A = this chain, B = another copy of it.
């Protein structure tokens, strides 16, 4: 068992009302892989520039992340700069410099082509399709996307969505992709685009999951100290896919539990800048929040 993620590794400069960081370790594949590393073997496929600090690679390896698919190209690493106001739900992107990521063509190392769980993080859907061509009969493929691709590469995105098992997106993206303001109807429309499962991330409001006629509403963890929401969605996907890969069980009941593990990892992620909130957790830390989520959503019938 194991999971592979294809996405970005970046250096993020983030400013929130609680502080700021410059060139901190970020990127969708980073947040995903760190979260997943608490559950299963995880391998990363991404590209960095020759300016990428070696300490970040060492940190990933120390977390057990397979970096054989982390390619270094001449040039600068992908950089993103963003700022959040007091309402941390609203993010302003200040700058996006793709740098070496602009020419990224994912190559799956041969020894990873048969990995059973695949996560296509938010990248160009043409690249997501390229990854699907290189993996051999995975057990489960999940995919994320964003408004940029919904608006500019809709055809390629729909092609990708029709080929994946689990579509993970946030609520605004789900409404935009479906062209439908009612989130339940929007999720149902995305389900009709091909995947077996649609998972909608709603930030502080938790997550929804639709599978055929089965509907699951997951609570958010009640975080009182949200320092930086960057990466929360990828940490969520990492916990979710990590749990699925660890257990090898894709039943409805187990995907529900996986959504809760995703929620737990996202909650640790937002409590500190970069990946610091997920850098050194114990199994007990994770199980404790899982149990709290069960308790806080329980009522007797």
Q: Which residues of A contact B (CB under 8 A)?
A: 86-88, 181-185, 188, 202, 204-206, 208, 215-220, 222-224, 226, 253, 256-257, 259-260, 290-291, 294, 296-301
Contact = CB atoms under 8 A, between A and B. Distances in A.
Given A86-B181, A88-B181, 8 more contacts: A183-B204, A206-B217, A208-B222, A216-B299, A219-B297, A253-B300, A257-B300, A297-B297
B217 A220 contact: yes
Contacts of A294: 299, 301
A121 to B, nearest CB: 25
Contacts of A218: 297, 299
Given A202-B205, A205-B205, A205-B206, A217 B182 contact: no
Contact of A181 (B87, B185, B257): B87
Contacts of A204: 183
A224 B183 CA distance: 8
A182 B182 CA distance: 25
A7 B205 CA distance: 30
B181 A296 contact: no
Given A182-B224, A299-B294, A217 B219 contact: yes
A21 to B, nearest CB: 20
A296 B260 contact: no
A208 B221 CA distance: 11
A291 B204 CA distance: 25
Contacts of A215: 222, 296
A223 B291 contact: no
Contacts of A188: 224
9 contacts: A182-B223, A182-B224, A184-B223, A205-B205, A215-B296, A217-B296, A256-B300, A259-B299, A294-B301
Contacts of A296: 215-217
Nearest to A89: B181
A119 B81 CA distance: 49
